[in-house]
Structure 1
Amino acid sequence: MTESFWQKFKNSFYAYSDLNLMLDISHMTISENFFSQMAPQMEKIYAQIDLLEKGAIANPDENRRVGHYWLRNPELAPDMEIAQAIQENIENIKVFTQQIHSGKIRPENGGIFKNILLIGVGGSCLGPQFVSEALGTNKDQMVLYFIDNTDPDGMDQIFTRLEPELDSTLCIVISKSGGTLETRNGMLEAKNRYHIKSLDFSKHAVSITQVGSKLYQTSQSERWLRSFPMWDWVGGRTSVLSAVGLVGLALQGIDIDSLLAGARLCDEKTRGVITSQNPASLLALMWYKATEGKGGKQMVMLPYKDRLVLFSKYLQQLIMESLGKEKDLEGRIVHQGLAVFGNKGSTDQHSYVQQLLEGSDNFFVTFIEVLRDRVQLSPILADNSTSGDYLQASLLGTRAALTMKGRESITITISDVTPFSIGMLISLFERAVSIYALLVNVNAYHQPAVEMGKTCTGEAITLKNCVLAFLRAHRNQKFTVEELVEQLDCPNTEELIFKLLVHLRSNPDHSVKLKKHENIFDDQYYVE
């Protein structure tokens, strides 16, 4: 007898009451024996996860342990020194927060700190941004701002907002190595702004970095207000529940204990070896089924809640940086990865759902449903429905339309957006990424290709400085791109030098001038 859809739904719907979490995989195409076929592999993975949490080397390329699970349960740490460091750090964050909020630590001109400017990039910023946006209210004790790029105009927008209250703004600079270019530039831009206002940056500054790093040394020598640690065993994309996220979020007024509790309880649940009782295992297995273990598919995240609009952006780094790998653990070329994109419901219904329904079937969707619409009662609008009723109907309608077109989807349902539920979601996806990485045999905890981009960035800056030095040494002499390549004896750099010069002459900072010609490639550049 063919299984009815209702029966399939009941067999593929999982409720975890202690997490206030529900997971629906009934809109995925799963064979009857899929889970039994995967059981032997999952048994091995559970053993590997256990070793990872106990402190085994889980990142062999860099010979590192992976311990973000210890951040919310220090008792799991493999030695007392790590456990004590975690506990002391959380306590120090709470004490520092109380001192700032009470005015015991004050800005140099008196009063109290009202704003926080967090400067970081990637994992040092995406996590805190997501959580801050998800949990922020008009009753927050401090307002959190972010600089997460080296875009001058973007920084100007933030500084323009902060300028009237820069003297009451606390600046948190986050970089694990202390040498990240974007973060260093943001810090130096901030220092300049404080200097212009005759303010001592060090009396407004906090560092979060590894002990001994360049940033740590700077913060110590300049006597910044505080320095909080980052540890070798916590990667940037899994660092939001370390000082990276907790300092700014605690200062904002978010209940970090509840945030950690949600992650801790989800860790316990997803540590289980019975797959049906482990929501992260089910998620990872659905990713594996959708991609046939080969990667390359797109994961479309559709959170139906404005507060979760940055969740997709946060997951882009967590998932794509963890799983996008050229080689597996045996060194074989595999080109694994899951491309993540998403907006929010029901905005998505009026943008790219058209392509999801009628374009290439190269994706699967994950809906995030939040049951609680708002704190107060909602007015009844048209059709005897509230705006929240329409939001849920939009989710159900989009999902139904996808199913009618044979497109697969997963639905995650939470009761409300709270510190506990956000901590739970962070843990859920961190664990799912770990499990999927083991399923496809890649190292989820390193990112070698990112270093390639950093190296090429440095080379571009070096070449730009060579061009500038040559033009300044030959003032008022005009050179084409090709002439500069010949003079500098740097073959095969024509395109790069052309791009550098077009940018240089578009900005007054380096005084590069242009003599235009009919053909743009005959243009000549010079410094007066």
Structure 2
Amino acid sequence: MTLSARETAWARIHSLAQRPGAGSIRALFDADPERFRRFHRRACGILLDLSKTSIDDEVLAGLLELARAARVTERRDAMAAGQIINQTERRAVLHMALRAPRSAGFRAALPEGGYEDAGASVEETLERMRQFTHAIHTGDIRGATGETFTDVINIGIGGSDLGPFMVGRALWTVRSPMRPLYLANADAHNWEAIRPRLNPHRTLMLVASKTFTTAETMANARVVRGWLERNLGEAGARRHMVALSTNTEATTAFGIAPERVFGFHDWVGGRFSLWSAIGLSIALSCGWDEFAQLLAGARSMDEHFLSAPPEENLPLLLALITAWHVNGLGLKAHAILPYDHRLSRFPAHLQQLEMESLGKRVTLSGEPVRHETGPVIFGEPGTNAQHSFMQLLHQGTTPVPADFVLVANPNHPYADNHRLLLANGLAQAEALLRGRTAPEVTEEMRRAGTPEEEIARLLPHRLFPGDRPSTTLLLERLDAYTLGQLVALYEHKVFCLGALWDIDAFDQWGVELGKQLAKSILPELEPAGRVGSHDPSTAGLIGRIRAMQGNPD
């Protein structure tokens, strides 16, 4: 479709958002007792409830027309066909190939022309990962002193940490084959907190960096390698090290044997890479069968995304609701509220997935965007969030849309606790919708015997405006398969938003400048360093830090 068709569709969305009461939700329920039935969808075992948002039939029709005008379906098909849709980096985007059988036929277009058989390389890597995991678990591969490995420490940052850490937190139990630990922050206090829990004789170290040059990862890797060498000797330490990287020259120089290097491809972005060799810590800690089920669940969501019609397509619908909130109603923050402690790292994973993908200010053609793009993502597991930031969602000046993730059946025997958890999740979403009116507050306080003057004093403070939007995702249970479905759902949501906003959701140039400046500042913090040329604030801070460390100029 033409640009004018896209802008016509956007104009309709803005016009619908200007209607009186466009953000009202309670009135929609009052007018339609069947609203839940009509505005929820089910697929892949996930129920998506959109009814607690302000979309109605006309808004939904307008959003679906926007998807058609933005050619979301055609762009989806181009991604699946392996075309170069990451235009700034001239790369295909094929994280779907990581969880598909080779028979699915995924292939990646190459910048120089032709195609790579993505399925073949994925199959080979997964088989190597499976064999290595099996050998570690059976004791065929042991540490330098002949002991079996019991702990695996994954050293990475960003997509090499957040995704695997999130999955490990969700799936690991005391019955799992190895204990996972994750080291990301360059602050060595992170390592000092982990180190006492590890036995060097039984610790396997994974260094996760595609280029094997990521500053924070390599700094931590050198620290942990030194710890292994002090306890096991240089040769012994090498038997405890594995690399997840494509830079075999650098991994060899670091002391990692070629057979201990697991690679992945340029058509896998870091924040979409947990399904690749970057997920080796998941397979080792939770077991290969769990990792395989994670891939299978994601594949089932891929198939839904690739085949479901737009009006039934969960990732597209989730993206369209976000577009309505961001571009129609001007709501620029979004809360992620998983009511399952196993998903405590899910908001952090989505922060990178969404904000690194969608925090863009130019279109694919390099022109300034005409519409707001990615919202600020934040979150905490329930019920912790209720005692943290939910006050702002209920009574703050600007509504904040929220995604509630509920799991019907727990993996523990404490039924009373789980009922309490679910009751709170359901109640929070209902409270955001309903609010609390002055007559309701007054009646409640009178029943409690509160004096009239006290009611008058407190009444303004106890009112809730309501009409605060939320979506609910309901899973029957949380396991490796359904977790794969859930994560893939949000991955495809990100793709759809990138298409709607006409931005490249698969590059991340915004992280580069800080890295470059850090390289120039680093030698200035050495004892013999000198403050260089910076803005007065940065120069002043470097000078004060040097003075506090006893290294004045």
The interval holding the TM-score normalised by the smaller chain is 0.7 to 0.9
1:108 matched residue in structure 2 = 144
1:475 matched residue in structure 2 = none
How many Å separate the matches in 2 of 1:315 and 1:244?
17
1:414 has 2:444 as partner: no
Query: Contact (CA 8 Å) 1:361, 1:407: kept in 2 or not?
Result: no
1:58 has 2:85 as partner: yes
Q: Deviations over 1:353-381 (max 9, x none)?
A: 11111112242010001001334363xxx
Query: Contact (CA 8 Å) 1:119, 1:146: kept in 2 or not?
Result: yes
How many Å separate the matches in 1 of 2:133 and 2:399?
47
Measure how far apart 1:201 and its partner are.
2.2
For residue 394 of structure 1, what is the amino acid of its counterpart? N
How many Å separate the matches in 1 of 2:162 and 2:490?
15
Corresponding residue to 2:54 among 4, 7, 29: 29
1:150 matched residue in structure 2 = 186
Query: Contact (CA 8 Å) 1:54, 1:77: kept in 2 or not?
Result: yes
Corresponding residue to 2:528 among 451, 458, 469: 469
Taking the TM superposition and a 5 Å limit, the aligned residue runs for 1:258-337 are 258-292=293-327, 297-334=332-369, 336-337=373-374
Measure how far apart 1:34 and its partner are.
2.2
1:15 matched residue in structure 2 = 42
Corresponding residue to 2:410 among 356, 373, 376: 373
How many Å separate the matches in 1 of 2:181 and 2:220?
13
How many Å separate the matches in 1 of 2:331 and 2:362?
14
1:251 matched residue in structure 2 = 284
Measure how far apart 1:55 and its partner are.
0.9
2:433 matched residue in structure 1 = 403
Q: Deviations over 1:11-59 (max 9, x none)?
A: 001122xx22100000010132223223344232111100111011111
Corresponding residue to 2:196 among 143, 151, 160: 160
Q: Deviations over 1:479-508 (max 9, x none)?
A: xxxxx66xxxx554553344334444555x
Corresponding residue to 2:245 among 199, 209, 234: 209
Say if 1:294 and 1:406 are closer, same or farther in 2 by CA, change over 3 A.
closer
2:222 matched residue in structure 1 = 188
Q: Deviations over 1:339-358 (max 9, x none)?
A: 11011111211221111111
How many Å separate the matches in 2 of 1:49 and 1:137?
37
Say if 1:159 and 1:433 are closer, same or farther in 2 by CA, change over 3 A.
same
Query: Contact (CA 8 Å) 1:293, 1:439: kept in 2 or not?
Result: no
For residue 81 of structure 2, what is the amino acid of its counterpart? K
How many Å separate the matches in 2 of 1:503 and 1:415?
53
How many Å separate the matches in 1 of 2:285 and 2:32?
46
How many Å separate the matches in 1 of 2:72 and 2:249?
35
Query: Contact (CA 8 Å) 2:242, 2:256: kept in 1 or not?
Result: no
Taking the TM superposition and a 5 Å limit, the aligned residue runs for 1:485-504 are 490-492=532-534, 494-504=536-546
Percent of aligned pairs with the same residue? 29
3-state DSSP class of the match of 1:326?
A: coil
1:218 has 2:253 as partner: yes
Structure 1 length-normalised TM = 0.86
1:348 has 2:382 as partner: no
3-state DSSP class of the match of 1:397?
A: helix
Query: Contact (CA 8 Å) 2:42, 2:48: kept in 1 or not?
Result: yes
1:72 has 2:72 as partner: no
For residue 106 of structure 2, what is the amino acid of its counterpart? A
Aligned Cα RMSD in Å? 2.1
For residue 154 of structure 2, what is the amino acid of its counterpart? L
Say if 1:226 and 1:30 are closer, same or farther in 2 by CA, change over 3 A.
same
3-state DSSP class of the match of 1:173?
A: strand
Measure how far apart 1:336 and its partner are.
2.2
Measure how far apart 1:452 and its partner are.
1.0
Task: Choose 36-45 or 4-13, whichever is displaced more.
Answer: 36-45
How many Å separate the matches in 2 of 1:421 and 1:397?
24
Query: Contact (CA 8 Å) 1:175, 1:209: kept in 2 or not?
Result: yes
1:141 matched residue in structure 2 = 177
How many Å separate the matches in 2 of 1:213 and 1:276?
49
1:92 matched residue in structure 2 = 128
1:394 matched residue in structure 2 = 424
For residue 192 of structure 2, what is the amino acid of its counterpart? D
Taking the TM superposition and a 5 Å limit, the aligned residue runs for 1:450-461 are 450-461=511-522
Measure how far apart 1:154 and its partner are.
1.2
How many Å separate the matches in 2 of 1:271 and 1:22?
18
Measure how far apart 1:224 and its partner are.
6.2
Measure how far apart 1:212 and its partner are.
4.3
3-state DSSP class of the match of 1:55?
A: coil
3-state DSSP class of the match of 2:33?
A: helix
Query: Contact (CA 8 Å) 2:147, 2:201: kept in 1 or not?
Result: no
Q: Which protein has greater RCO, CA pairs closer than 8 Å, 6+ apart?
A: 2
- Structure 2: 5+ residue stretches without partners: 1-26, 108-114, 435-465
3-state DSSP class of the match of 1:415?
A: strand
Measure how far apart 1:198 and its partner are.
3.5
Corresponding residue to 1:6 among 33, 50, 67: 33
Measure how far apart 1:294 and its partner are.
9.0
Corresponding residue to 1:443 among 493, 504, 507: 504
